[in-house]
């Protein structure tokens, strides 16, 4: 805004038309009076007002320009600061990402990988946001400069957006290379750890195998051995040579792994090489000792091949015969579980076949023992000192004879056990057939009776009394049949005690029979009850026999599955056939729902014949209603809205009067007297229209 007093001063010292010029004198009072006159003149001068507005506009423009310039300078400073911070962070981070010094252990490398992941998850995302914000600020600044007709902003050297992008690209390249290096290094260390562990395992296995081998090869046991011992030692040595040759591959693998560990610059290569060298030196020593021992054994080998061959022949024949006897003893003592006569007969047949092989087995036993005796005879005749045992087998003649005697003892025991089981299975088979014979009679009889009762309940032959009489005859016949079921229970008890679990002679189980019997008793009782209720309904409602038969015919016609109940659609079709307006429209649906609530109050979705009869009887006969009973009570009460206990005892039989008094609620009306009872609520409760 323009300074008003400054403008006054400017105007004051300008040219004047007064008597005092610019340098004129005068008193201060005159001067102040003259100044007041000038102020009034200025305020009233239009030219001065115009000049004042122009000055004010100019000042506003300058302020606006300066504000824009200050804001731009602030944005430039922010950019420079953010760019410097970001570039400094990038310059610090790139050397860390370019550090490729490998670690010795996979745990250290995994820590580096975890640090790198922290960098990715924690440190880098804010810098990405800063870089994005920097570019946004730069673009915003350039736009504001352009709009305000200012020259474009040129950041300091090296802080251009392009410079930052180049540094960022360098960072991401270093980052990508660092991640690849980390993963490759971890894979290398994993490979090294795997190889080192593999080396240690194979070296440990080899060292455990070689433990004691040098001492064994240096042992001079062949110097005092007999020929049979020498033969055994030679074969044992041959087996060792085979084992030694088989271990050659492991030694080569150990050396190859050590070489690979060296090539991969394993940090503990020195210890690996030391251990590998020790293994190789020991391996060369074992090879030399093995060759020397073989030569010594071959030089020591003598004659007496006959005894050795006899021992070998004995071993070849004794081993399978011994195995045969062990298997035979195992089979003879094996527990068996059978469930049928066929299974036990199969076992008996197999046992008889085994017994037929015993003579041949005995001859083989004698031949094997003869070989041993021949070796003993030759040794004694030639004064050869035998070691006392066969070098090729641990099966002695004493073991063969002992096991043979055991087989001979077990055979008759097995015979006895099989015969006992055969007798048991024959008894079980008799029980199965006995039960099946009775079950195959009782089961169909129950099914037949169920079907007959079902037919009686839906057929319309004769009067209801005839049907009831017929059903009671069926009930008596069912009760009279109970002993047959008791007999079957006794037979089933014997089967359970014998642990018989299946019976191929019948499809009926005792459980099936029991369930069927219970269903039969329930069905006949329920059917009799239904007929009795129909008789009560008929007599109470005054329905004729012809109407009952008509109701039954209509019901049976729509009971397609003969289940004794109608579904909602079947019941609707039945009502339509009887002339009820329950078509599929709003009014018909409402009427049908009302009827369904009457015949199926429990919402089971089924309408029984009894419910159907009750409904039809209500529709076709005159019945008492709650209103009629209320009107009757009103007569007894002398046209009052309540009744007293004295009036009830006076007008009704004693038991019925006391029944009403005990159940009637006190009357709560304004005209009530002491002891007044509410006969209206009592009457509606009798017909289910309220709670009693």
What pLDDT band is residue 18 in, cutting at 50, 70 and 90?
Answer: very low
Residue with tokens 């023992």: 369
Helix (H) or strand (E) holding 38: helix 28-44
Contacts by 598-602, CB closer than 8 A, 24 or more apart: 599/571
**Length of the chain, please?**
692
* Predicted confidence (pLDDT) at residue 6 exceeds the cutoff of 60: no
Distance CA 395, CA 486 (A): 64
CA-based Rg of the chain, rounded to a whole angstrom? 60
Helix (H) or strand (E) holding 663: helix 654-663
Q: Is 386 left (phi over 0), alpha (psi -120 to 50) or beta?
A: beta
Provide the 3-class DSSP secondary structure of residue 444.
Answer: helix
* Predicted confidence (pLDDT) at residue 597 exceeds the cutoff of 60: yes
Distance CA 478, CA 520 (A): 8
* Predicted confidence (pLDDT) at residue 388 exceeds the cutoff of 70: no
What pLDDT band is residue 26 in, cutting at 50, 70 and 90?
Answer: very low
**Can you read off the two tokens belonging to residue 329?**
């003893």
Per residue, the 3-state secondary structure of 40-83, as one string, reads: HHHHHCHHHHHHHHHHHHHHHHHHHHHHHHHHHHHHHHHHHHHH
The H helix count followed by the E strand count for the chain is 24, 4
**Can you read off the two tokens belonging to residue 550?**
């008509």
Contacts by 245-250, CB closer than 8 A, 24 or more apart: 247/206, 247/209, 250/202, 250/205, 250/206
* Residue 275 Cα distances to 108, 191, 255, 636, angstroms: 26, 20, 10, 123
Poorest-confidence range of 413-417, 584-588, 615-619? 615-619
Contact 159, 84 (CB under 8 A): yes
**Can you read off the two tokens belonging to residue 642?**
């309540």
Sign of the C-alpha dihedral, residues 641, 645, 647, 648?
positive
Sign of the C-alpha dihedral, residues 59, 64, 70, 73?
negative
Q: Closest Cα partner for 283 from 255, 259, 258?
A: 255
* Predicted confidence (pLDDT) at residue 321 exceeds the cutoff of 80: yes
Over residues 221-226, mean pLDDT: 67
Give the pLDDT confidence score for residue 14 in this predicted structure: 36
CATH 2.60.40.1930 for domain 626-687, yes or no, is: no
Contact 616, 574 (CB under 8 A): no
Pick the CATH number of 51-189 from 3.60.10.10, 1.20.58.60, 3.40.710.10, 1.10.150.120: 1.20.58.60
- Ranges in the chain annotated CATH 1.20.58.60: 51-189, 462-619
Tens-digit pLDDT profile for residues 530-568: 778 777 777 766 666 666 666 667 676 777 776 677 787
Residue with tokens 């046992």: 351
* Predicted confidence (pLDDT) at residue 502 exceeds the cutoff of 60: yes
What pLDDT band is residue 197 in, cutting at 50, 70 and 90?
Answer: confident
* Predicted confidence (pLDDT) at residue 1 exceeds the cutoff of 50: no
**Can you read off the two tokens belonging to residue 280?**
């190789």
Share above pLDDT 90 across residues of the chain, in percent, rounded to a whole number: 3
Sequence-ordered list of residues with C-beta below 8 angstroms from that of 666, at least 6 positions apart, any chain: 672, 676, 677, 678
Sequence-ordered list of residues with C-beta below 8 angstroms from that of 86, at least 6 positions apart, any chain: 127, 130, 131, 134, 164
Distance CA 317, CA 294 (A): 29
Q: What are phi and psi of 64, to 5 degrees?
A: -65, -45
Distance CA 684, CA 682 (A): 6
> How many CB atoms are closer than 10 A to CB 55?
15
CATH architecture of 462-619: Up-down Bundle (1.20)
- Ranges in the chain annotated CATH 1.10.238.10: 626-687
Contact 430, 505 (CB under 8 A): no
Distance CA 676, CA 641 (A): 9
Share above pLDDT 70 across residues of the chain, in percent, rounded to a whole number: 80
> For residues 184 and 377, which has the higher predicted lDDT (pLDDT)?
377
* Predicted confidence (pLDDT) at residue 60 exceeds the cutoff of 50: yes
Which DSSP category does 498 fall into? Answer: T
Contact 68, 144 (CB under 8 A): yes
Distance CA 513, CA 507 (A): 11
Q: Closest Cα partner for 438 from 510, 529, 330?
A: 510
* Residue 50 Cα distances to 19, 59, 60, 243, 318, angstroms: 28, 14, 16, 122, 141
Partner residues linked to 565 by β-bridges:
608
Provide the 3-class DSSP secondary structure of residue 678.
Answer: strand
What pLDDT band is residue 356 in, cutting at 50, 70 and 90?
Answer: confident
Give the pLDDT confidence score for residue 617 in this predicted structure: 66
Sequence-ordered list of residues with C-beta below 8 angstroms from that of 578, at least 6 positions apart, any chain: 554
State the chain's mean pLDDT as an integer. 78
Q: Give Cα 159 to chain centroid, integer Å.
A: 59
Distance CA 455, CA 535 (A): 19
* Predicted confidence (pLDDT) at residue 690 exceeds the cutoff of 70: no
* Predicted confidence (pLDDT) at residue 78 exceeds the cutoff of 70: yes
Which DSSP category does 151 fall into? Answer: P
Q: Around 497, how many Cα atoms within 13 Å sit in the side-chain half-sphere?
A: 8
**Can you read off the two tokens belonging to residue 544?**
């004729």
Q: Closest Cα partner for 610 from 686, 552, 570?
A: 552
Sequence-ordered list of residues with C-beta below 8 angstroms from that of 222, at least 6 positions apart, any chain: 229, 230, 233, 296, 297, 300
Tens-digit pLDDT profile for residues 233-271: 888 888 988 888 888 888 888 899 888 888 877 877 888
* Predicted confidence (pLDDT) at residue 586 exceeds the cutoff of 70: yes
What b/e readout covers 127-148, taking b as 16+ CB neighbours within 10 angstroms? beeebeebeebbeebeeebeee
């Amino acid at each position: 805004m323009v300074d008003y007093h400054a403008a006054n001063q400017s105007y004051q010292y300008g040219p004047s038309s007064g008597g005092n010029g610019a340098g004129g004198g005068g008193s201060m009072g005159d001067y102040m009076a003259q100044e007041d006159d000038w102020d009034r003149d200025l305020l009233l001068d239009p030219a001065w007002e115009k000049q004042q507005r122009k000055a004010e506009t100019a000042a506003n423009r300058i302020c606006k320009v300066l504000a824009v310039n200050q804001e731009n300078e602030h944005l430039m400073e922010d950019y420079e600061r953010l760019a410097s911070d970001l570039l400094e962070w990038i310059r610090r981070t790139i050397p860390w990402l370019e550090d490729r010094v490998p670690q010795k252990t996979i745990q250290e490398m995994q820590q580096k990988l975890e640090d790198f992941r922290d960098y990715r998850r924690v440190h880098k995302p804010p810098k990405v946001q800063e870089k994005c914000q920097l570019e946004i600020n730069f673009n915003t600044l350039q736009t504001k400069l352009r709009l305000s007709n200012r020259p474009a902003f040129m950041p300091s050297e090296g802080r251009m957006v392009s410079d930052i992008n180049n540094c960022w690209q360098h960072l991401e390249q270093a980052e990508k290379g660092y991640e690849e290096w980390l993963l490759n290094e971890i894979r290398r260390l994993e490979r090294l750890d795997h190889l080192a562990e593999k080396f240690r395992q194979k070296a440990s296995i080899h060292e455990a195998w070689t433990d004691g081998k040098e001492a064994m090869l240096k042992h001079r046991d062949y110097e005092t051995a007999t020929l049979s011992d020498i033969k055994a030692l030679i074969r044992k040595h041959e087996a060792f040579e085979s084992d030694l040759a088989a271990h050659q591959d492991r030694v080569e693998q150990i050396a190859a792994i050590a070489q690979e560990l060296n090539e991969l610059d394993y940090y503990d290569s020195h210890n690996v090489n030391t251990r590998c060298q020790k293994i190789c030196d020991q391996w060369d020593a074992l090879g030399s000792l093995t060759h020397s021992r073989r030569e010594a054994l071959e030089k020591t080998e003598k004659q007496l091949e006959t005894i050795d061959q006899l021992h070998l022949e004995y071993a070849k024949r004794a081993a399978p015969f011994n195995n045969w006897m062990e298997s035979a003893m195992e089979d003879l003592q094996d527990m068996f579980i059978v469930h049928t006569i066929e299974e036990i007969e199969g076992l008996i047949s197999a046992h008889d076949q085994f017994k037929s092989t015993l003579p041949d087995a005995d001859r083989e036993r004698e031949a094997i023992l003869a070989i041993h005796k021949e070796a003993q005879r030759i040794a004694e005749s030639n004064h050869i000192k035998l070691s006392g045992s066969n070098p090729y087998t641990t099966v002695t003649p004493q073991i063969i004879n002992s096991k043979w005697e055991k087989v001979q003892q077990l055979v008759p025991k097995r015979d006895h056990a099989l015969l006992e089981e055969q007798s048991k299975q024959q008894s079980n088979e008799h029980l199965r057939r006995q039960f099946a014979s009775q079950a195959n009679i009782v089961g169909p009889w129950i099914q037949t009776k169920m079907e007959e009762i079902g037919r009686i309940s839906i057929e319309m032959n004769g009067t209801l009394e005839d049907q009831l009489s017929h059903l009671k005859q069926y009930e008596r016949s069912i009760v009279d049949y109970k002993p047959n079921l008791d007999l079957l229970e006794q037979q089933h008890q014997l089967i359970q005690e014998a642990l018989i679990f299946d019976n191929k002679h019948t499809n009926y189980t005792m459980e099936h029979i029991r369930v069927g019997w219970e269903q039969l008793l329930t069905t006949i009782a329920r059917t009799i009850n239904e007929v009795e209720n129909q008789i009560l309904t008929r007599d109470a409602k005054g329905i004729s026999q012809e109407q009952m038969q008509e109701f039954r015919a209509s019901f049976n016609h729509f009971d397609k599955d003969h289940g004794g109940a109608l579904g909602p659609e079947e019941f609707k079709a039945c009502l339509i056939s009887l002339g009820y307006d329950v078509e599929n429209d709003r009014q018909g649906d409402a009427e049908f729902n009302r009827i369904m609530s009457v015949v199926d109050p429990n919402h089971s979705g089924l309408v029984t014949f009894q419910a159907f009869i009750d409904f039809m009887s209500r529709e076709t006969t005159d019945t008492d209603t709650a209103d009629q009973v209320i009107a009757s009570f009103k007569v007894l009460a002398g046209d009052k809205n309540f009744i007293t206990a004295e009036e009830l005892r006076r007008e009704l039989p004693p038991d019925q009067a006391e029944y009403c008094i005990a159940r009637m609620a006190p009357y709560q009306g304004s005209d009530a007297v002491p002891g007044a009872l509410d006969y209206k609520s009592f009457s509606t409760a009798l017909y289910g229209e309220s709670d009693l």
